[in-house]
Every structure is written in C-alpha cells, then in structure tokens.
C-alpha cells in the first residue's frame, strides 16, 4: 500500500443485498475508496484483474466447488491484492483451508463498518499480511 493514497477495496459478496450496502458504508470511511462491488463471482474476478485493488473483501457461499477453491482462484487472478474473507460463519477447519488458499484473514460479519475498516487497515499494514488482533473463528462462535 502506498503511503498517501486511499486504500482501494473491491467487494465481492454473493449475498446480493450485502455488497452494495457494505460498499456504500465503507466508502464513507476516511482513507478508503471502494472501486467496485458485485454479487457475481465471475464479474468480481474480472474487476479484480483489471482494477488491481489493494484489498478484495469477499464472501462466497458456494454450492458448487468448495469455497476455498474459489478463494484460491481469486488469489491467482489478482495476486497483488490482499484477499480477506468476510463471512457470517466458518465451519471447523475452514479458516485454515481459506488461509492455505491465499486468504490473508477471515473476518466475521457483524462488527460494524468502523471496526471492519480498522481490521482491514491492521491486516494490510502488517508485515505478513495478517493481524493478531483480527477475530478468526472456527465453527461460527465468538
């Protein structure tokens, strides 16, 4: 991330009612610029490839291929972006599988936009792309 520019964020959330709302709220946070949002995975991958955002905030509820494979594919499409899973819950072992697929961190939905923005900043600024402060839950419990 360059020091004097807004953090560019692409939101890909298959829950079609979430992505526009999250994009609207996150764009109001100082230091963030939402460059795109979609509920369509294929369109999201195309946007990620062309826009090369600093951060891809994604949630896939895949009925087809395993969710980790979708994240792995997206990480290959946009290798310079920090990929963050923003999900409602994680099943046992899923957080580890997502990290192995290229996800920098798994964040649970529900903390509010201000807290989400803080977590994203901590992840991006961390030397290894992870944040010790970030909540990563297995099995969907807090």
- 105 within 8 A of 84, measured Cβ to Cβ: yes
- Assign domain 7-125 one CATH number from 3.10.110.10, 3.20.20.450, 1.10.150.120, 3.40.50.2300: 3.40.50.2300
What's the pLDDT tens digit per position in 91-130?
Answer: 778 888 899 999 999 998 988 999 999 999 999 988 765 5
Rg (CA), the chain: 14
Give the residue from 20, 27, 62 showing the smallest Cα distance to 42: 62
- 29 within 8 A of 113, measured Cβ to Cβ: yes
pLDDT band at 30 (very low <50, low <70, confident <90, very high): very high
pLDDT at 92 (0 to 100): 79
Intra-chain end-to-end CA distance of the chain, in Å: 30
pLDDT at 131 (0 to 100): 47
Q: Structural domain boundaries of the chain?
A: 7-125
pTM: 0.85
């Amino acid at each position: 991330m360059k020091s004097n520019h807004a953090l560019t964020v692409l939101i890909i959330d298959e829950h079609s009612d979430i992505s526009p709302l999250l994009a609207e709220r996150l764009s109001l946070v100082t230091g963030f610029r939402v460059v795109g949002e979609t509920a369509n995975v294929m369109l999201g991958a195309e946007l990620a490839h062309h826009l090369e955002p600093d951060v891809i905030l994604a949630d896939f509820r895949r009925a087809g291929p395993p969710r980790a494979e979708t994240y792995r594919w997206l990480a290959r499409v946009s290798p310079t972006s920090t990929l963050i899973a923003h999900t409602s819950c994680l099943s046992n072992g899923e957080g580890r599988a997502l990290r192995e697929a290229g996800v920098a961190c798994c964040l649970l939905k529900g903390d509010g936009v201000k807290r989400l923005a803080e977590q994203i900043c901590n992840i991006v600024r961390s030397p290894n792309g992870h944040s010790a402060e970030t909540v990563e839950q297995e099995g969907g419990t807090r």
